[in-house]
Amino acid sequence: MIYLDYAASTPMCDEALNMYNEVNKKMFGNSSSLHDAGGQAAYVLDYSRQRMADMIGGQKEGVYFTAGGTESNMLVVQSILNGLPEHKKHWIMSALEHHSMYNLAILLESQGYELTIVQPDKNGQITVEALLPHLRETTGLVSVQHANSETGLIQDLAALSPLLRERGILLHSDAVQTFGNIPVDVAALGVDALSISSHKVYGPKGVGAAYLKPGTPWRPVYPDTLHENGFRPGTVNVPGIAAFVAAAEMMTEQMELHQQRYAMLRQYFISQVQKESIPLRLVIQESGTETALSHIVGCFFHGYEGQYVMLECNRSGVCISTGSACAAGHHEPSPALQALGASDREALQFIRISFGRTTTIEDLDVLAGILADLTHRQERSLSH
């Protein structure tokens, strides 16, 4: 099997697996227990919190461990809105957000919050000019994804944060796709809150983290919660968290090396597509790695529905996707793709290829061969 869906999930790396086994065997106590076994687990948790804070340029007190990126989004946004003054009932998110944010928006609407969805410019960027007309006295929070999971498009959060800070508006970012792949520094970006996930960086599934800058007002979604300083209920998954941190350390240490490889693989794949005259059009035209994550290649395959292409690849032992795995059961055009100007027809022709640490040129040759075969099949059917 050739796996090219790393933006959906990654296999656990050896560093994470070894850490998970070690902590599970030797430090299995409940981190809230007052005896020595609990104390050992609490020490691991405290150390993990500090290391996570170091990796995102934040403070230990602002790190809260969760069950993943979706839960981080849900809890962080609701907790902030809960903690804001009563008149701050308006919030803003970009049209490029993850499926979980759209689900959250429906819930918050039922609780009396008003949402504005801001569209990107022609380059896919959420700009100061796009945000400014929508800011009100009642606006409490703006949420802009650091990079889109379908296209890899990176947002310039550092350009937005001063505008919001001077108006007393908080900025949250879903950094699930960027953390471990490009530098994520909460101070440099100017964000007040962040969401990240373990299984995107070769850690275990069911683990994530939220960051809330100390001093940011928030109130728990679940009152009287005891764990994670009241942020989230339930016994803390210390082995999973330790494994997450081990994987994240590996990824951040090797970040530049991975990015160079991904950029090379991307260019190679695009050259093969051109050589074979495969009717693939990139959602984001090549303009350098500053604007898009190198390892995510989102494109439209002209003449075929994305789901058909994905199934044909799967039949040949190659795993690709048709977008965010969290929206896999929904066969409607993606709001993010529509926001970037794709028609409904184009959006349904979307496929996503994403590279990982073990992806090779040979893997991409196999994929290009499958796509070339589909192209020739299409040409033959048109000529009859």
Q: Which residues are catalytic?
A: 326
Rounded distance between C-alpha atoms, residue 167 and residue 98, angstroms: 26
Give strand pairing partners of 197: 208
Please say whether the dihedral angle defined by the alpha carbons of residues 369, 372, 376 and 378, taken in this order, is positive or negative: positive
- Give the torsion through C-alpha atoms of 61, 244, 73, 45, to 10 deg: -30
SS3 136: coil
Please say whether the dihedral angle defined by the alpha carbons of residues 259, 316, 198 and 290, taken in this order, is positive or negative: positive
Rounded distance between C-alpha atoms, residue 180 and residue 256, angstroms: 10
What are the distances in angstroms from CA 220 to CA 93, 118, 209, 211? 21, 27, 15, 14
- Integer-rounded Cα Rg, in Å, for the chain is 21
Q: 298-335 burial, b if ≥16 CB within 10 A, otherwise e?
A: bbbbebbbbbbbbebbeeeebbbbbbbebbeeeeebbb
SS3 195: strand
Q: What is the DSSP annotation of 300-366?
A: EETTS-HHHHHHHHHHTTEE-BSS-GGGTT--SPPHHHHHTT--HHHHHTEEEEE--TT--HHHHHH
Residue with tokens 């683990």: 207
In one-letter notation, the amino acid at residue 110 is S
Give strand pairing partners of 281: 300
Q: Which residue spans within 256-301 are E strands per DSSP?
A: 280-282, 296-301
